[in-house]
Amino acid sequence: MGEVSAPPQALEVLSQTEFFSDLDRRQLQALASVSRLQEYPGGVEIYNHGQPARYLYVLAEGLVKFAIGFGGRTSAGDTLRRGNVFGWAALTPGVRHRIATATTVTPCVVLAIDGAECFELMRADHTLGFHLMTRLNLLITGTITAFVAG
């Protein structure tokens, strides 16, 4: 795993991701400034259940298997594709530990957004915070609903 980019590539990934579509160029640039692209080979964990949650991720290339777990129960998992956002625990104040496992299926490139730095951007720009928390709410609700449905 290694860093492969500077913010221009991060800005490109953000601007092409539906999750960030409500943001203006300045807000996207601010997020890009706290982000970096990372490469992973196939068959490795990006993160595992219980680990500290430092980054929110955007899948830029490849496939990732995402499996959520609660109280000893783990979902069968979903396959994430380009443009999917995962690792949302990095933006949950107070409880920043993973409740899921994300494993690469193929070699992947992900945009890793530093959760603590993103949270500070959201505090400084309430419009950015509102947009991201609205999207995050939909993402979490969808993830948990899929988990419960089995």
Query: For 19-46, how does the pLDDT look when each residue is reduced to its tens digit (9 = 90+)?
Result: 999 999 999 999 999 999 999 999 999 9
81 vs 1, which has greater pLDDT? 81
Quote the tokens at residue 85: 């956002």
**pLDDT interval class at 94 (50, 70, 90):** confident
Looking at 62-150, list the stretches that DSSP marks H as alpha helix, in order from N- to C-terminal side.
115-124, 126-149
Residue with tokens 């299926």: 105
Q: Which stretch of 17-31, 54-68, 82-96 has the lowest confidence by average pLDDT?
A: 82-96
Quote the tokens at residue 72: 């000893």
Domains of the chain, CATH where assigned: 2-125 (2.60.120.10)
Phi/psi of residue 17, nearest 5 degrees: -110, 125
Q: Are 133 and 122 in contact (CB under 8 A)?
A: yes
Q: What is the DSSP letter of 113?
A: E
Whole-prediction pTM value?
A: 0.87
On the question of pLDDT at 84 being above 70, the answer is yes
**pLDDT interval class at 149 (50, 70, 90):** low
Spatial distance between the Cα atoms of 26 and 48, rounded to a whole number of angstroms: 33
pLDDT value at residue 93 = 78
Q: Is the sign of the CA dihedral 20, 146, 92, 60 positive or negative?
A: negative
pLDDT value at residue 61 = 96
Instruction: Quick: pLDDT tens for 4-13.
Output: 444 569 999 9
Phi/psi of residue 62, nearest 5 degrees: 100, -170
Quote the tokens at residue 67: 């499996």
pLDDT value at residue 5 = 42
Residue with tokens 């107070």: 94
